[in-house]
Structure 1
Amino acid sequence: MIYRYLRFPVLLLALLAATAQAADIYRWTDAQGKVHYSDREPPSGAEKINEPPPPSALSPEEIDARLEAIRKQRRDALETRAQAKDEQARSKEERDRLAAQCAAARGQLQATRSAQRIRDADGHWYTGEERINKINELEATIREYCGSSKRR
């Protein structure tokens, strides 16, 4: 897990090292005795000079501030990504819950419509009017949990 946080600094150091490696400097003297310096390899007889790259124009405080800004952006991005993942998980749980309630309400509606007689949990038998009211309640529940489309 910690390797994930070290990727950017390691990449930055690798790029800096590659840049420093590519900045070879050559010195040579031409036929007139004039000394030349170049970052491209000259014809022949040139001496390669190994000098460190020039120092950064930024102060250590500016470098630290930029690095901290990059770290903050990374933390913010990770936090945003985690929040989006949590929201997606909650959304999926809510859809699953609604789908289960929808299926249960549809099952109850089908049973209510197809049964000759219906009894509630207390053992009371429904009258015709109570049965119609129960069907209307179940249809309203289906609209709430399943959306506006009714599948019969």
Structure 2
Amino acid sequence: MSEWLVRIDNKTTAYDYCSNDLCISIMFLLGFLIFIGLFFSGPENLVNNAIGFGLTTMMSMMVVVGILNDSLSKIDCIPCMGLFVLVQISITSTAVMSVLLTDKLLKSIGKCARSKSHDSSSRWRFIRDLTQNGNLLRNILFAIFTILHVANFIWFLSNNQV
């Protein structure tokens, strides 16, 4: 006859894994993709691209807000992840609005600068050169919003209490 010995231990194996960190990492990478597509898309479909990227970002971030929904109703203050998402939504919304507004502004200022004569001030010549090639302004805006995006992520990582 054989004998069986069954031993049951109550040991828990802890994994250093947090689903919130995974969501934030995906949001961080998604933000970079949104900024790259927003600022480096062609000028011919700028309005459609900006609106499409803005709506895509809002929908993807609403998934994270849905994840936060359960935890927000049980606590008195907004957690660090909630503030990260809120700031991320505002940075992306501001980037979309700035792309739309600068495109309209460049067109109207460009018309005014081109109507000036060649012997006008050097400032108008600079504005005319800037408006003929909007890539410089887009690169500056991309750098500004990328710095804000990275600063928000660094703030989240420094204040995240696991």
Relative contact order higher in (CA < 8 Å, ≥ 6 apart): 2
Higher strand share: 1
